[in-house]
Each structure stands twice: as C-alpha cells, then as structure tokens.
A and B are shown apart, each in its own frame.
Chain A
Amino acid sequence: MSRSIKLRKGLDIQLLGVAEKTITPLESQQYAIKPTDFPGVYPKLLVKAGERVMAGTPLFFDKYRESIRVTSPVSGVVTEIVRGAKRVIQEIRIEADSVQQYVEFKRMEPEYYDREVIVALMLESGLWPALLQRPYAIVADYDKIPKAIVISGFDSAPLAPDYDILVHGHGPEFQMGLNVIGKLTPGTVHLNLRHGTPASKVFTNSKNVQINYFEGPHPAGTPGIQIHHLDPVNKNEVVWYLSPCAVLRIGRLFMSGHYDDSRLVALTGSEVLRTGYYKVTGGLRVDRLLANNLREGAARVISGNVLTGTKISSDGYLGFYDNQLTVIPEGNHSEFLGWIKPGLAKYSSTHAFLSRLLAKKNYRLDTNMHGGRRSFVVTGEMEKVFPMDILPLYLIKSVLVKDIDQMENLGIYEVGPEDFALCEFTNTSKEELQKIIREGLDFLRKEMN
C-alpha cells in the first residue's frame, strides 16, 4: 500500500552550480578503488601491484565477513597500492586497457533461482557492497534477512544529481534489478519518490515494489529518514537500502553477466565552469573532468555532495557510491570582526544574518568553519533539521560517553552518520557530529559482535 509522508523539518541549502542537463561521455585510463569508501569493511588485499585484472576480478575482501569482496571496475593492470597512516590501504590504482574485458558471470532470470544463488552471485561479482544496512550504516550482512529494502528515488542533498536523468532509458535493467532485490527480502521493497514532481517513467512503471511519496526539505531523500518513517529499525531488526544507480548495476549484471560499473556522474559546484552530467565508469580519476574547467583559486573537490561527501584531491578518484562530484572554494581566509558583521553575503539557517531578508538564492559557500569549537550550548537547533522521532543531542551525548544502554534506548540502530549532516552544518558549537556517530556505531558493532 503506497504511503505519502510529509516532513516539515530539514533544510534545503541553495548553492550555485547545479548540473546542466547535458550528458557527455568521458573515458579515462586511470581508475582506483578506495577501500575506505566501504563502511564496516576491513580490507584484505587479493592483488599486488603489476597484476592483470579484468572488470569483475576481486581486489580485496572483508577480513571479518570473508564473502564480501570488492572487484575491479575495469580491466587493466594494478599499478599501485597506496597506503596511508598505519598502513591503511587508501587506493588500489588500476590503469585500464583500451578494450575492456569482463569476467563472465552466470546470467540469470532471478524468478527461477533461490535467494542463496542470487546472494552468491552478488557476492562473487562484487556488487554486494552496493547494499547497505541499518543498523550500523555498513555494507549489508549477507547472513541476515532484512525485513524491508528501501530505495530512494530522489536525492534531496544540495546540488544533487537528478535521478530521473540517471535512470533515463534504462527501464529494463532497473526492473531486472528490482526483481533481484525482491528475492532478497520476505518483506516489502520500497521505492520512494518526491511528492508533487513528476518522476521518470522508469520509476513510476516499476513493478514488484511499493511506491511511496515523500514531501519536504532535505533530508527527505535520504534512506535513513525514509526507513525511520516507513519501517523503523528496532533492536535485532535489519533493513537494507541502496541507490537506484546500484539497482541498475545489479540489473545489468543479471542481464549481461558482466560487472559493468558505467554510471552518470553530475559535475556540480560554484567553482565548476561547465557543469553537467558525464557518462563514466566508477572509480574514475577526476582530473579529466576538472581540467580547464575550474575557476581561479583554491578549491575543494568532493566526491559526493557538500554535506556527506569525501574530500579528494583534484586528481583523486570518484567514490564507489557517488554519482556526484562537487567543487567549492576553500575557505582558508580570516575575516576581521566577522562575528558582528550584518552578513549580507553569508548563509545561515538562523535568522541572525541580514541575508535572511534578501531572499537571495544560490550561495557560493566555502569550507570555512566560521568559528571555533565549543561545548554544546545552543539547544533545539538540531531538532529543526532532524526529521526523526529521536532526540539528536541526547543520542550524541550518549555516544560520547559510550553508554550502550542509553544509545540503544535513544535509537542508535536507526541512524547513520549522514543523518546528522545537517545537524553538523547548523551546529553553533562546530562539533564533528558525523564522525562522532560513525565512531559510536563502530564501537557498538564491536561490542555487540
């Protein structure tokens, strides 16, 4: 039964640099997989520098859940394993062949196969990590059975790509992907669309799913919020979620037998000269997208959106889960008596700046913190942008003191770091809330298992 849910809390941050609706194919020879992209996965390498791989060859697996493996998006040669502090693997770099070769997986009509066979194929092909789960906001546990699976059919984050463009013309793969996902849960597969705007036929015509409508500002389009309102996660329950782009990739695997990570990525942000959508393969080095395409001055390149994305360098690599690349100015400048200025050009969710009166749209925001870190003083500001029946400040404090009972009581199983992104943005005390929640979830997972 379709549901329609209206959210009042949240915040739409209007930024400059929405992607133009043009699609440009782009190829590169340089790719990398970043193990740090995969939450809850502890990588153990399967390849060495110099080895040949094909698209679909496993690169590493998870030390604690050994069937979870991540495979190469392209065929070519592993050129380098980049390690960071404490020898943590940062990047597995691959130089791609000019003609792509694919590992041949079994083609399947999901209707005729058991759940175990389907799970095994997804694990083997390296598409499994596209499935995420609550609790813990990590790559899904393959030996658990989720009570529901949630797919958000729109992205409400600042400058987010239009999912309609991402799936346009891919109806068969999308439906195939949904059929596969339907086999993974005895419960409902939810496909959530934005209320009031016409969605792509690919979404509205899809079958074997329950289509729901969400209304309201960001984070209405994030799966964590949608799960909370559709089928909240209680203790010992599991819900999985994935993006429509992942659904496409799964559909493609089952239709063609290939691990084909081609996807559209939206190039956005105020510092980009020519925004737009680019047809690329996952793990692409972004320098070709950005070359001669940025404004003067220091810039921050983000794989993902400005609230939850990952900072990368201008020759860094696109993240596994990302369909968006954002470039904004760095904010490493000081400002004389900045705290008392009327603030005509500043953006704030509060009413303490005159810019509020201008009804200005589309800001060029930089990465400045706009202040120093303080204790939590201001109360009630998180609640304004946190559309869950959870007390965010109390949950964060219980995480900070590592009180497991209280964390459970206050709803830790329902949240992921990204749910706190807006709280972090508006936070007057400039705390790093997403980091706090991530550490809390990791701590809890370790204690519970």
Chain B
Amino acid sequence: MKPVKKLFDSVRPHFEKGGKLSRFYYTFEAFESFAFVPPRVTQTGSHIRDAIDMKRTMIFVVIALLPAALFGMWNIGYQHFLALGQESTLVANFWYGFLKWLPLQVVVFAVGMTIEFIFADIRKHEVAEGFIVSAFLIPLILPPDIPLWMVALATAFAVLIGKEAFGGSGMNIFNPALLARVFLFFAYPAHISGDKVWISGLPDAMSGATPLGLAAAGDISLMPSAIDRFLGFIPGSIGETSTLAILLGAAFLLITGIASYRIMFSVFAGGFLMALVFNLWGANAYMQIPPWEQLIMGGFAFGAVFMATDPVSAAQTNTGKWIYGLLIGMFAVLIRVFNPAYPEGIMMAILLMNVFAPLIDHYVVQANIKRRLKRASVTAK
C-alpha cells in the first residue's frame, strides 16, 4: 500500500499547521486514519492497548446490517414487480431495489458527513465514527420512494439538532437515525405513513398496506402469513421487513459482543410480555394476536437489534439496560395497539426511553451510593 501512503504523505503538509488548508486538518485526518491506523503510541498509563477501536466497533454494526440491507433491496424490487403483476428475476428485483437504495444512501452520507467534517474542523477534534452507523441506518428505516430532498433535510436535522447541538458523538440524547425518521414522520406524514408509500412505484388505485397498517386499521385477517412476515416478503421500510435477516445481524452483534445482549433480549422480552398481557385482556382482534407475532411485525426487531442498543442514547449501567430494554418492548407494543395514529410503536418507544435512560441510570447510581453509605454506617457503629 505504498502508493496510498505516499499520496497521504505528499499532501499532509498542506493540512498541517501553517499549511494552506490547515483549517481542514481534521477532515484530512479522517481520511488518513480511515486508510491507515495511525502510528500513535501510548504516552501515559497502560503501555499496551486493546486492538479494538471506535472504527472497528462501528464498522461491525454496519456489517451486521448487511443481511437486512441486501434482503431489503431485493424486497423493494420484489414488491414492486408483484404490485405491477410483472414477472421478474432475483437479479432484476435486487437491481431495482439497489437503484432505489443507492441515491438515499448517497444523500444521507453526503449531507451528514459534510456536517460532521465541518464541526470536527471547527471544534478541532477527530471525526467520530458514530455517524457511519447512523448513515447506514437512516435509508433502511425509510420507504423506498421518499423524495431525496426530504431525506437530506431529515439527515441534517438529525445530525445538527440531534447530535452536534449536544456536543457531538457520544453526547447525544436521542438516537440520530430515529430522530431523522421521526422528523419525517411529523413533518411529511404523507410520505412515510399510510398505505401508499411502502411499495415502490405503486399504482394509484392499489393499496400497499404494511401488516402494521392493516392491524392498526383492524384488518387482522388481511395480514400476510406469519412466515411471510418473518422472512420479510411484505411491504415496509427498506431494511425492516425480514426478521430473519435482522436476527442474522443480531447474532453477529452478540457473538462479537458489540451490542448489549441485555438490551436486545429485554426489548424482545418486554414486547412479548406486553402482548401476553393484551392476550389476557383480549378486548379486540389486535390484542389477541399471539405474542411472538408482535415481535416480527413492523420495525420491532430492527429497533430492538439496531436502535435500542445504541450505547450512547441507551441506559449506561448494566442494571439500567435491563430496565431500559424491557420498557422499550412494552411501550412499543402498547403504543402500536392503543394508538392507530402511530402504528410504528417501536420508534416512539425508543425515543421515549432515550429521554428516560438517564433517569433509570440515576436510580441505579443512587442504589450504588446508598450501598456504600450503608457500609460506612455499619462500620462506624
């Protein structure tokens, strides 16, 4: 990799102190450290360091997203040709979906990264990798035909207001990707809800409702079969339809230990528990569907695996993580069953618990403090 190294070495002087482009040093640094792990050595404290770093951590989340993303691209094409009643091949389906996904991804990346670079250069810190994950998440939680300018606006909102306003990566209260989605949901509801937007190129006369939409409207009987919902042959946001693909990603995250198993399991447990309670209540058809089916509907699995586990916006104590996840699962099912205006309960539930995560942690920390004070008063006697 000598030529690449040479290239960086030759342009570096322009970005260093005194160079023409020194104000863009951290943008340069981002590209350089992307290509080469820097030669920096330990100065104080531990002389050796774990090989893990933020880049690898974040990239592993992106790798975990791949099954859901690839399946999602195929599914866009599949749903499209199905709605039009046309024959299609695997490759054609995938290619159609890929061309729908690519512009979204490019726009999200361009807008978000530009903002990240500008802030890094102004604040004089290295570019954090957190946005890489957000950037891959955002297109996967959007409908395929959403106008690109809206996506650009939502991304800018998420990065600026959701993240940089709080001080950048690691300081944000809300999950930035969900913030982008909720922005669109409230600003342009017609483009991200209802039964018209979930299938690309849907003819006007047809309905392309998601299972969640059907359930919210009370049409439980019209829902696709459970196996279709589990495998993902249904309309929906790009990456959320296939629970199977999401579980593949979840397995990768759990094996590598990148995501918190505490949160992931407790979200599913919370959803299951709430659905079970509704089963016992059984006031309407939505309440009566088997608990495990709640977990494969809509964005529940996607949210549990990729959104709730965001370490920055989640609870930070180990005990807190169990409580945080459990409440997300319960609220997600509660919201989607009780409020037909918000069929996607998981989005609201996670954002709500993002707000409460510091409160949960506060009580866990207080418990720790009380234990210590109690110990002191025991020895004082």
A-B interaction: yes
Which A residues have a C-beta under 8 Å from some C-beta of B? 13, 232, 234-235, 237, 300, 302, 306-309, 311, 326, 328, 330-340, 343, 346-353, 365-380, 383, 389-391, 393-394, 409-411, 417, 421-422, 424-430, 432-435
A428 touches B45 (CB 8 A): no
Pull 30 A–B residue pairs with CB atoms less than 8 Å apart, ordered by A: A234-B376, A235-B376, A300-B47, A302-B47, A306-B48, A307-B48, A309-B47, A334-B37, A334-B39, A339-B53, A339-B55, A340-B59, A350-B52, A352-B256, A353-B51, A367-B41, A368-B37, A369-B40, A370-B53, A371-B55, A374-B128, A378-B54, A380-B311, A391-B364, A409-B369, A410-B369, A424-B49, A425-B48, A425-B50, A429-B54
Q: CA A399 – CA B13 in complex, angstroms?
A: 38
Known: A331-B41, A334-B39. A374 touches B48 (CB 8 A): no
- Point out the residue from A372, A380, A391, A428 that lies within 8 Å of B38, measured CB to CB: A372
Which B residues have a C-beta under 8 Å from some C-beta of A? 1, 4-5, 29, 33, 35-57, 59-60, 126, 128-130, 167-171, 255-258, 260, 262, 311-312, 314, 316-318, 321, 364-365, 368-369, 371-373, 375-376, 379-380
| Residue of B39, B43, B364 contacting most chain A CB atoms (<10 Å) | B39
Q: CA A376 – CA B170 in complex, angstroms?
A: 6
Q: List 16 other contacts, CB 8 Å, given A306-B48, A421-B46, A426-B50.
A: A332-B40, A336-B35, A337-B35, A343-B51, A351-B257, A353-B51, A366-B48, A369-B41, A371-B53, A371-B55, A374-B54, A375-B168, A378-B311, A424-B45, A434-B44, A434-B45
Contacts between the two chains (Cβ within 8 Å), count: 211
A369 touches B36 (CB 8 A): no
A339 touches B37 (CB 8 A): yes
Residues of A within 8 A of B57 (CB): 352, 377-378, 428
- Point out the residue from A377, A390, A409, A433 that lies within 8 Å of B130, measured CB to CB: A377
B126 touches A374 (CB 8 A): yes
Say how far B70's CB is from chain A's closest CB, in angstroms: 18
B37 touches A306 (CB 8 A): no
A391 touches B372 (CB 8 A): no
Q: CA A340 – CA B62 in complex, angstroms?
A: 11
A430 touches B53 (CB 8 A): yes
Known: A375-B171, A426-B50, A428-B54. A334 touches B38 (CB 8 A): yes
B255 touches A351 (CB 8 A): yes
Chain A, Cβ-Cβ closest to B371: A389
- Point out the residue from B50, B60, B255, B365 that lies within 8 Å of A410, measured CB to CB: B365
Say how far B48's CB is from chain A's closest CB, in angstroms: 4
Chain B, Cβ-Cβ closest to A433: B45
A311 touches B52 (CB 8 A): no
Top 6 A-B pairs ranked by shortest CB distance?
A371-B53, A375-B170, A338-B37, A234-B376, A339-B55, A434-B45
Residues of B within 8 A of A235 (CB): 376
Residues of A within 8 A of B167 (CB): 375
B46 touches A370 (CB 8 A): no
Say how far A163's CB is from chain B's closest CB, in angstroms: 22
Residues of A within 8 A of B379 (CB): 234, 237
- Point out the residue from A331, A350, A429 that lies within 8 Å of B39, measured CB to CB: A331
| Residue of A311, A328, A331, A332 contacting most chain B CB atoms (<10 Å) | A331
Q: CA A352 – CA B63 in complex, angstroms?
A: 12
B44 touches A435 (CB 8 A): yes
Residues of A within 8 A of B375 (CB): 232, 234
Known: A338-B36, A373-B126, A410-B365. A367 touches B54 (CB 8 A): no
Say how far B148's CB is from chain A's closest CB, in angstroms: 29
Chain A, Cβ-Cβ closest to B255: A351
A352 touches B257 (CB 8 A): yes
Q: CA A429 – CA B165 in complex, angstroms?
A: 21
Q: CA A375 – CA B50 in complex, angstroms?
A: 17
Say how far A397's CB is from chain B's closest CB, in angstroms: 10
A379 touches B314 (CB 8 A): yes
Q: CA A424 – CA B369 in complex, angstroms?
A: 23
Q: CA A32 – CA B59 in complex, angstroms?
A: 48
Chain A, Cβ-Cβ closest to B368: A391
Known: A234-B379, A235-B376, A352-B257. A367 touches B39 (CB 8 A): no
Residues of B within 8 A of A374 (CB): 54, 126, 128-129, 169-170
Known: A334-B37, A350-B257. A410 touches B368 (CB 8 A): yes
A369 touches B42 (CB 8 A): yes
| Residue of A334, A343, A434 contacting most chain B CB atoms (<10 Å) | A334
Known: A336-B35, A377-B170, A409-B369. A350 touches B50 (CB 8 A): yes
Residues of B within 8 A of A309 (CB): 47
Residues of B within 8 A of A369 (CB): 38, 40-42, 49
- Point out the residue from B41, B60, B364, B368 that lies within 8 Å of A332, measured CB to CB: B41
A380 touches B318 (CB 8 A): yes
Chain B, Cβ-Cβ closest to A335: B37
Chain B, Cβ-Cβ closest to A331: B41
Known: A332-B39, A350-B257, A370-B53. A339 touches B48 (CB 8 A): no
B46 touches A352 (CB 8 A): no
Q: CA A390 – CA B367 in complex, angstroms?
A: 11
Say how far A278's CB is from chain B's closest CB, in angstroms: 21
Say how far A197's CB is from chain B's closest CB, in angstroms: 25
Say how far B159's CB is from chain A's closest CB, in angstroms: 15
